[in-house]
């Protein structure tokens, strides 16, 4: 054993010196990928990018830059290793191409296969960094622009992985854009100021306008005509020509979600309605107009993005969407407007109230009748919020924050379930007092584990979580990739606490979806009277060691070969049975089904003998605080009831509990609390019976 420890230590030391964060592309390989007429220049000395040229007459014209994401944004995937993408970006910030160079994402390795991954990254071609690129699952949104937004089709069962890929693409591309394309250096989009919710000073609407808290813009016909003067749109508006000094649009704009503005501008009822429609961190922009021209076209649909007014910050677009709210101004207002609209900017957009909001009013003219030419000119203006209305950024809200917000109800339901389980296990005496009620509680919770945590929320913890953690540490990379899957984070937090209190059994017996599936199948087999094989005690003990050997082999492989690790972790059928719902190539399905069939004869066969994740939890569970299963002095000497009833064979003949192999099914606790099942209690009841002594009848 000592020799194995020495080898393991040496492998760890060697692993820590390894690096897997360097690009793999060479000049020759890029020439193959971008053949003539393209010309690959020399790698930039300041930033790891290659320029791409194309010969134009006698000069070489810059087509774009090509680079590897691992050199610029090595964001770890769920294996703990970064996904490496080859990205080509043109001088205007448009994606020429995005392709996968290497990855170790478990769900795409012999799971869904790599085809969905390749299809996902291919959607970036032709998109721009000036667009808000978002991921949706509704295919009718795919690659269709909505204002400044464009939606990519995600991959079912790989939601977190594609979000990590999206973050990788955008992070790497923005670094290149800022260094090579003249984009603003900008700031971390998650480090933004927050509006002060409790800051309010009464003010009239006239005072708000005078202080710049309401932006006032007046555009006259003359100015519009001047804009189109040198274009094909000149002279196409007879009203503008006839009345050059008349108002084209009279516009008032306010960041109405700021209490110091909104409470003064709106009446009390409208302010309440607005607050009820906004989530924490959202912003609302009120736009009031009168005149010949409005910010909404005749084809505008309520609840969508305004087609004539756009918002940018630091040269990047930000979506604002109609809230479809009828709001009324304060009673002291003398503004008479034709239109009042309010638009919402969600918190995930990263709008920073400490930076100017740059707006652009688009005016379009049509030339021609059958196939009219559309000529558009923009009228830019800005709004800036005074410093007293916001608080500077103090904390870092990472890019995964939007995922947590979007899945808030799933997280809430999971936390509620875990809280209920913690309370039940804490008061186990009450929980097990009524054996029949306990059985239904356990069945209900295991159904929650299988159906919600497993198949719906994809919260199956796995040995892959451990290998990913180790590989990230070996490479010196961030562990932020875990945060892209909030269900895993919440479950790990609970399991970490439960390991210290109760040991391995809380997860394996209550929170493992595949374990729940095995238990249901095993109980069904018993109900159908399928013969159950109870393995001899010594043989059972030897077989239980196998999972520790499997665990050791997988952990060793993380320091030797990532490819080997990817192969060895397939000993777990979790990906096949839970993540992919058995929709996978036949060898994996046969293996998973075979394990489930084995559990019809040997109770929870995989969990007891093969599961490396369970083995890891068993090792960590040795440091638990409680021996929580109650015992009597008669347990084991002479009573053997619980030992014979334990399907996991986790009770020794002397009555001692082997907590490393206990799945916290609590059947023995139910027996302990039952005076109809517990032999010592039954004997006590018999001893407690008093047989009255009656005098013998006297015969006369």
Would you list the DSSP string of 612-678? HHHHHHHHHGGG-S---S---TTBTTTB-HHHHH-TT--B-TTS-B-GGG-----HHHHHHH-TTT-
CA 181 to chain centroid, in Å, comes to: 31
Please, what's the b/e burial string for 169-181 (b: 16 or more CB within 10 A of its CB; e: otherwise)? Answer: bbebbbbbbebbb
The answer to whether residue 211 scores a pLDDT higher than 50 is yes
The answer to whether residue 418 scores a pLDDT higher than 90 is yes
Which of 574, 578, 577, 554 shows the shortest CA–CA distance to 566? 554
The larger pLDDT score, comparing residue 173 to residue 448, is at: 448
Question: Both 362 and 238 in a single domain?
Answer: yes
The answer to whether residue 212 scores a pLDDT higher than 90 is yes
The larger pLDDT score, comparing residue 102 to residue 20, is at: 102
pLDDT tier at 10, thresholds 50, 70, 90: very low
Min mean pLDDT across 218-227, 509-518, 576-585 is at 576-585
What confidence score (pLDDT) does residue 58 get? 67
- Please name every residue paired with 639 in a beta bridge, in sequence order, or none if there are none: 635
Provide the whole-model pTM: 0.58
CA pair distance 117, 499, nearest whole angstrom = 36
pLDDT tier at 16, thresholds 50, 70, 90: very low
CA pair distance 446, 438, nearest whole angstrom = 12
CA pair distance 492, 496, nearest whole angstrom = 6
Question: Both 146 and 286 in a single domain?
Answer: no
What confidence score (pLDDT) does residue 700 get? 53
User: What are the structure tokens assigned to 519, written together?
Assistant: 């238990």
- Note whether residue 186 is domain-resident: no
- Please say whether the beta carbons of 530 and 601 come within 8 A: yes
Question: Both 198 and 145 in a single domain?
Answer: no
Question: Which contiguous run of DSSP H or E holds residue 53?
Answer: strand 49-56
pLDDT digits (tens, 9 = 90+) for 42-91: 888 888 999 999 877 667 788 899 999 988 888 878 777 888 999 999 98
Question: Both 361 and 319 in a single domain?
Answer: yes
**Average pLDDT, rounded, for the chain:** 85
The larger pLDDT score, comparing residue 183 to residue 416, is at: 416
What confidence score (pLDDT) does residue 615 get? 93
Span 488-516, average pLDDT: 93
Question: Both 214 and 126 in a single domain?
Answer: no
- Please say whether the beta carbons of 244 and 235 come within 8 A: no
What confidence score (pLDDT) does residue 336 get? 87
CA pair distance 343, 522, nearest whole angstrom = 56
Range of the domain at 333: 194-391
Residue with tokens 């451990």: 466
Question: Both 274 and 422 in a single domain?
Answer: no
What confidence score (pLDDT) does residue 13 get? 40
The answer to whether residue 530 scores a pLDDT higher than 80 is yes
Question: Both 576 and 664 in a single domain?
Answer: yes
User: What are the structure tokens assigned to 270, written together?
Assistant: 């409208």
Q: Which residues contact 198 (CB under 8 A, 6 or more apart)?
A: 259
- Note whether residue 225 is domain-resident: yes
pLDDT tier at 492, thresholds 50, 70, 90: very high
Domain termination residue (choose one: 347, 371, 391): 391
Question: Both 273 and 406 in a single domain?
Answer: no
Min mean pLDDT across 14-28, 202-216, 529-543, 662-676 is at 14-28
What confidence score (pLDDT) does residue 201 get? 92
Question: Both 293 and 422 in a single domain?
Answer: no
- Note whether residue 697 is domain-resident: no
What does DSSP say about strands 357-367 and 309-313: parallel, antiparallel, or unpaired?
antiparallel
Question: Both 386 and 453 in a single domain?
Answer: no
- Note whether residue 607 is domain-resident: yes
What confidence score (pLDDT) does residue 290 get? 93
- Note whether residue 563 is domain-resident: yes
Specify burial of residue 610 (Cβ count, 10 A radius: 0-12, 13-18, 19+): buried
- Note whether residue 185 is domain-resident: no
- Please say whether the beta carbons of 262 and 305 come within 8 A: no
The answer to whether residue 271 scores a pLDDT higher than 90 is yes
The answer to whether residue 508 scores a pLDDT higher than 70 is yes
Give the dihedral sign, CA 476/478/479/485: negative
Question: Both 426 and 386 in a single domain?
Answer: no
Which of 172, 155, 171 shows the shortest CA–CA distance to 108? 155
- Note whether residue 157 is domain-resident: yes
Question: Both 340 and 438 in a single domain?
Answer: no
Min mean pLDDT across 283-287, 524-528, 566-570 is at 566-570
CA pair distance 471, 477, nearest whole angstrom = 8
- Note whether residue 189 is domain-resident: no
What confidence score (pLDDT) does residue 342 get? 95
What DSSP character marks residue 575? Answer: I
Span 297-305, average pLDDT: 87
pLDDT tier at 14, thresholds 50, 70, 90: very low
The larger pLDDT score, comparing residue 481 to residue 667, is at: 667
pLDDT tier at 132, thresholds 50, 70, 90: low
What confidence score (pLDDT) does residue 693 get? 62
The larger pLDDT score, comparing residue 540 to residue 346, is at: 540
What confidence score (pLDDT) does residue 399 get? 58
Q: Which residues contact 605 (CB under 8 A, 6 or more apart)?
A: 518, 595, 598, 599
Percent of the chain with pLDDT over 70: 89
Region for residue 662 given its phi and psi (left: phi exceeds 0; alpha: psi -120 to 50; beta: otherwise): beta
Span 592-618, average pLDDT: 94
What is the total count of domains within the chain?
3
């Amino acid at each position: 054993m000592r020799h194995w420890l020495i080898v393991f230590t040496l492998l760890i030391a060697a692993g820590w010196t390894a690096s897997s964060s360097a690009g793999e592309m060479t000049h020759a390989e890029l020439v193959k990928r971008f053949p003539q007429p393209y010309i690959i220049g020399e790698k930039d000395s300041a930033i790891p990018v290659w320029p791409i040229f194309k010969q134009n007459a006698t000069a070489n014209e810059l087509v774009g830059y090509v680079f590897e994401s691992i050199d610029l944004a090595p964001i770890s995937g769920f294996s703990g290793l970064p996904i490496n993408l080859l990205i080509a970006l043109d001088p205007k910030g448009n994606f020429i191409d995005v392709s996968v160079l290497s990855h170790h994402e478990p769900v795409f390795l012999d799971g869904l296969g790599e085809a969905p991954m390749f299809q996902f990254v291919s959607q970036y071609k032709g998109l721009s960094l000036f667009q808000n690129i978002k991921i949706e699952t509704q295919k009718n949104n795919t690659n269709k622009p909505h204002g400044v937004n464009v939606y990519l089709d995600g991959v079912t069962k790989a939601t977190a992985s594609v979000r990590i890929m999206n973050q990788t693409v955008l992070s790497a591309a923005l670094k290149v854009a800022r260094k090579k394309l003249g984009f603003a250096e900008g700031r971390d989009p998650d480090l933004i100021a927050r509006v002060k919710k409790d800051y309010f000073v009464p003010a009239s609407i006239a005072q708000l306008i005078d202080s710049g808290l309401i932006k006032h813009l007046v555009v006259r016909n003359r100015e519009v005509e001047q804009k189109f003067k040198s274009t094909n749109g000149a002279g196409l508006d007879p009203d503008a020509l006839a009345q050059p000094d008349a108002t084209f649009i009279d516009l008032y704009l306010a960041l109405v979600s700021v209490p110091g503005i909104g409470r003064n501008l709106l009446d009390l009822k409208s302010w309440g309605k607005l607050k009820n429609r906004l989530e924490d961190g959202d912003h609302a922009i009120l736009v009031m107009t009168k005149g010949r021209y409005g910010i909404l076209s005749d084809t505008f649909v309520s609840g969508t993005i305004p087609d004539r007014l756009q918002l940018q910050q630091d040269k990047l677009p930000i979506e604002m969407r109609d809230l479809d709210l009828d709001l009324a101004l304060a009673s002291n207002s003398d503004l008479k407007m034709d239109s009042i609209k309010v638009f919402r900017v969600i918190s995930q957009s990263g709008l920073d109230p400490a930076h100017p909001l740059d707006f652009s009013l688009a005016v379009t003219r049509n030339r021609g009748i059958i196939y009219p030419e559309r000529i558009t000119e923009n009228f830019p203006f800005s709004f800036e919020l005074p410093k007293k209305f916001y608080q500077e950024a103090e904390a870092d809200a990472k890019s995964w924050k939007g995922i947590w917000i979007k899945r808030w109800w799933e997280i809430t339901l999971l936390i509620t379930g875990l809280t209920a389980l913690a309370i039940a296990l804490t008061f186990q005496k009450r929980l097990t007092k009524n054996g029949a009620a306990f059985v239904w509680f356990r069945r209900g919770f295991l159904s929650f584990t299988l159906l919600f945590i497993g198949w719906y929320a994809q919260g199956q913890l796995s040995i892959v979580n451990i290998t990913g953690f180790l590989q990230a540490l070996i490479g010196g990379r961030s562990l932020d990739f875990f945060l892209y899957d909030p269900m895993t984070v919440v479950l790990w937090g609970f399991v970490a606490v439960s390991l210290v209190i109760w040991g391995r059994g809380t997860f394996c017996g209550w929170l493992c979806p595949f374990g729940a599936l095995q238990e249901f199948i095993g109980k069904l087999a018993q109900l159908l009277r399928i013969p159950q094989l109870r393995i001899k005690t010594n043989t059972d003990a030897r077989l239980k060691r196998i999972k520790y050997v499997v665990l050791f082999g997988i952990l060793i492989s993380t320091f030797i070969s990532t490819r080997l690790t990817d192969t060895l972790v397939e000993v777990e059928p979790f990906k096949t049975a839970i993540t992919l719902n058995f929709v996978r190539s036949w060898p994996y399905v046969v293996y998973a089904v075979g394990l489930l069939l084995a559990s019809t004869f040997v109770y929870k066969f995989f969990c007891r003998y093969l599961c490396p994740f369970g083995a890891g939890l068993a090792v960590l569970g040795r440091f638990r605080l409680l021996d929580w299963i109650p015992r009597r002095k008669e347990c084991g000497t002479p009573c053997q009831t619980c030992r014979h009833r334990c399907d996991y064979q986790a009770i020794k003949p002397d009555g001692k509990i082997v907590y490393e192999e206990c799945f916290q099914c609590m059947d023995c606790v139910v027996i302990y609390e039952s005076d109809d099942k517990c032999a010592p209690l039954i004997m006590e009841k018999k001893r407690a019976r008093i047989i009255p002594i009656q005098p013998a009848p006297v015969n006369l």
